[in-house]
Amino acid sequence: MEKDVWDQLARVRLTLDQTSALIEVNRKEAEEFYIPLAATLLDRLSPPARLLVGIAGPPGCGKTAFAALLAETINAISGEEMAACLGLDGWHFSNAYLDSHFIERGGEWFQLRRIKGAPETYDVYAAYQCLQRIRTQAKVIFPEYSRTLHDPVPDAGVVELRHRIVLAEGNYWLLKEEPWKDFQALFDVTIFLSASPQCLIEGLRTRHRRGAKGSRSVEKHIRQVDLPNIEHVLSNSVNADVVVYKRDSRLIERVVFA
C-alpha cells in the first residue's frame, strides 16, 4: 500500500497559505508517519458522521503543511477526496477591526493590531459556530487567511458532503481556558504538534517572509507576539490523543499515541 500511496502523493502539488510556496513531500516521512496516522483516522471514521480532527500547537510548528499532507494521504489511501482542511487563522479579525479595537494588558492599552496572532485577535464565536455546523451540515463555507493580503478572505473555503474527515488546524484549539476549552468537545481526535523553541522561531521567520514582510518587522513580531504565544500554548494546552514531535517546521521526528 505504501508504494501506491506514495506514487499518488508524489504527483500532488500542495502550496501554503494561498501563496506559491510548495510543501515538500518526503517519501520516508510519508511512509513512516503520515500513512500510519492517516490509516488510524480512517479506522476512527464511522459514517454517516464526519470525523472532526483538531490539530493544535504553538506558532511555527508547521500545522498548515502537516494538515495538508495528512489530508492528501487520507485521500490517497481512500481513493477519493474525502478529507478537507481548514485553519483557525481564517477567523482572525480583519485588520480594520484590529486597528480600531484595543485591549488592556498590565495597566496599558494596546491596539489589537500590535498583538495580531494572540488569542484575543480571533473571532472565537464565529469559529465555534462554523465547527458546529461542520458536524451537522452537509456543506459549510468558511474563511481562509491570505498571507499575501495579510487578512482573512471570507467564504474562500468549503466543506462539501464528500468530505468525511475534516482537519482543523490552529494554535489555540486545546487551550484549557475560556472560551477555547469549549472547542475540545467538538473534536473526535486531537493532535498536538511540538518542536524546540529554536525550530519554532525558524519556522516563523520563514512564514513571515513568505508573506513579504521585512526582516526588522519579522523580528519585532516574533519578539513581541510570537514568543509569548509559543509559551502560552506550550504551558496551557490540554493533553492530545496524538503528539507529533517535529525536527523542524517540516520534518517529523516521532509520533506518540496517548
Confidence category of residue 12, pLDDT binned at 50, 70, 90 = confident
Average pLDDT, the chain: 91
Higher pLDDT, 238 or 214: 238
Question: In whole angstroms, what is the distance from residue 125 CA to residue 34 CA?
Answer: 32
Question: In whole angstroms, what is the distance from residue 40 CA to residue 47 CA?
Answer: 15
**Candidate from 20-24, 28-32, 208-212 with smallest mean pLDDT:** 208-212
Percent of the chain with pLDDT over 90: 66
**pLDDT exceeds cutoff 90 at 200:** no
Dmax over CA atoms of the chain, in Å, equals 59
**pLDDT exceeds cutoff 80 at 212:** no
User: What is the reported pLDDT for 254?
Assistant: 95
In the chain, the number of structural domains is 1
User: What is the reported pLDDT for 210?
Assistant: 65
**pLDDT exceeds cutoff 70 at 1:** no
Contacts of 122 (CB under 8 A, 6+ apart): 88, 91, 92, 93, 172
Cell 506550550, residue? 234
Percent of the chain with pLDDT over 70: 94
**pLDDT exceeds cutoff 90 at 131:** yes
Output phi, psi for 141, to 5 deg. Answer: -90, 140
Q: CA 239, 204, 223: angle at the middle one, nearest 5?
A: 95
CA gyration radius for the chain? 18
- What is the DSSP annotation of 168-218? EE-TTTTBSSTTGGGGGGG-SEEEEEE--HHHHHHHHHHHHHHTT--HHHH
What's 16's domain CATH number? 3.40.50.300
What region, left, alpha or beta, does residue 123 occupy, with left being phi > 0 and alpha being psi -120 to 50 degrees?
Answer: beta
Taking residues 125-144, report their average pLDDT: 97
CB atoms within 10 A of CB 254: 11
Question: In whole angstroms, what is the distance from residue 184 CA to residue 238 CA?
Answer: 9
**Candidate from 12-21, 41-50, 107-116, 181-190 with smallest mean pLDDT:** 12-21
**pLDDT exceeds cutoff 80 at 208:** no
Among 153, 167, 139, residue whose Cα is nearest residue 53: 167
Higher pLDDT, 178 or 9: 178
Q: Is the CB of residue 191 less than 8 Å from the CB of residue 172?
A: no
**pLDDT exceeds cutoff 90 at 17:** no
Q: Is the CB of residue 195 less than 8 Å from the CB of residue 246?
A: yes
Helix (H) or strand (E) segment spanning residue 69: helix 63-78
**Candidate from 24-28, 68-72, 234-238 with smallest mean pLDDT:** 24-28
Domain residue limits at 34 = 2-257
User: What is the reported pLDDT for 20?
Assistant: 67
